[in-house]
Chains A and B, each alone.
Chain A
Amino acid sequence: MNTTLLIFLLVLLAALLIGIALLAYRLVKGRMPRFSRKSLCIPYAVFLVFFVIIPMLVIFFYAFTDREMHFSFGNFVKFFSDPTKLSTIAYSIVIALITTVVCLLIAFPVAYILARSKMKKKYVVLMLFVLPMWINFVLRINAIRELFNWMGLLGETNYFNTVFGMVYDFLPFMILPLYTTIMKIDNSLYEASCDLGANGFVTFTRITLPLSVPGIMSGVTMVFLPSMTNYVVSDMLGNSMVTIIGKFIYEYFGSDWHMGSMVALVLLVVVFVSTWLTGGFQSDENVRGANL
Chain B
Amino acid sequence: MKKQIVFKCLKAGFIGLVLLLLYAPILLLAVYSFIGTDIIGKAGAFSWEHYEKLFGDPVILGMIGNTLLLALLAALLSTVLGTVGALGMFYCKKRVKAIVHGVSQIPVINAEIVTALALAVTFVTVGIGKSYFTMLVGHLVICTPFVVLSVIPKLKQMDNSLYEAALDLGASPLKALFTVVLPQIVPGVISGFMLAVTLSLDDYIVTVYTRPNGFETISTYVFNATMRGNAHTAETLSSFWALTTIIFVVIVLVVVISNLTNLRKKEAKR
Contacts and interface: CB of A to CB of B under 8 A. Distances in A.
Interface stretch (A133-141, A186-194, A206-214): A133-141
Contacts of A257: 121
B244 A229 contact: no
A59 B41 CA distance: 48
Contact of A290 (B22, B89, B195): B195
Nearest to B219: A138
A48 interface: yes
Interface stretch (A19-27, A109-117, A176-184): A109-117
Given A38-B88, A230-B112, 5 more contacts: A113-B11, A228-B111, A249-B117, A264-B118, A271-B109
14 contacts: A3-B69, A41-B92, A52-B103, A127-B259, A135-B26, A138-B220, A143-B25, A168-B25, A246-B111, A249-B114, A275-B109, A285-B153, A290-B191, A290-B192
Interface residues of B, number: 98
A291 interface: yes
Nearest to A127: B255
Contacts of B152: 283
B240 A142 contact: yes
Contacts of B96: 38, 41
Given A52-B106, A145-B226, A6 B91 contact: no
A36 B85 CA distance: 13
Contacts of A113: 11, 14-15
B166 interface: no
Contacts of A275: 109
Given A113-B14, A143-B25, A37 B91 contact: yes
Given A44-B81, A138-B204, A253-B209, A281 B140 contact: no
Contacts of A226: 111-112
Nearest to B254: A134
B212 A1 contact: yes
Contact of A249 (B22, B84, B113, B244): B113
Among B88, B107, B133, B255, chain A packs the most CB atoms within 10 A around the CB of B88
A142 B222 contact: yes
Nearest to A6: B133
Contacts, number: 250
B144 A287 contact: no
Contacts of B125: 58
A35 B174 CA distance: 7
- Nearest first, the 10 closest Cβ-Cβ pairs linking A and B are A44-B85, A41-B88, A40-B88, A55-B118, A143-B25, A37-B91, A290-B195, A55-B122, A138-B219, A229-B111
Q: At the interface, is chain B mostly helix, strand, loop or mixed? A: helix
Contacts of A281: 105, 108-109
B19 interface: yes
B18 interface: yes
Contacts of A288: 146, 195, 198-199
A51 B135 CA distance: 12
Given A38-B88, A44-B81, A235 B227 contact: yes
Contacts of A285: 150, 153
Contacts of B55: none
Contacts of A136: 67, 201-202, 218-219, 222, 247
A154 B128 CA distance: 41
A80 interface: no
Nearest to A145: B226
A43 B109 contact: no
Contact of A43 (B85, B198, B204): B85
Contacts of A128: 19, 22
A58 B122 contact: yes
A201 interface: no
B104 interface: yes
A174 to B, nearest CB: 12
Interface in A13-47: 35-45, 47
Nearest to A246: B113
A62 interface: yes
B89 A41 contact: yes
A53 B107 CA distance: 10
A139 B81 CA distance: 30
B40 interface: yes
Given A37-B173, A109-B14, A253-B120, A44 B100 contact: yes
Contacts of A135: 26, 244, 247-248, 251
A62 B120 CA distance: 13
B19 A129 contact: yes
B59 interface: no
B35 interface: no
A131 B255 contact: yes
B227 A236 contact: yes
Nearest to A250: B113
B48 interface: no
Interface in B129-144: 131-133, 137, 140-141, 144
B117 A261 contact: yes
Contacts of B173: 35-37
A40 B91 contact: yes
A220 to B, nearest CB: 13
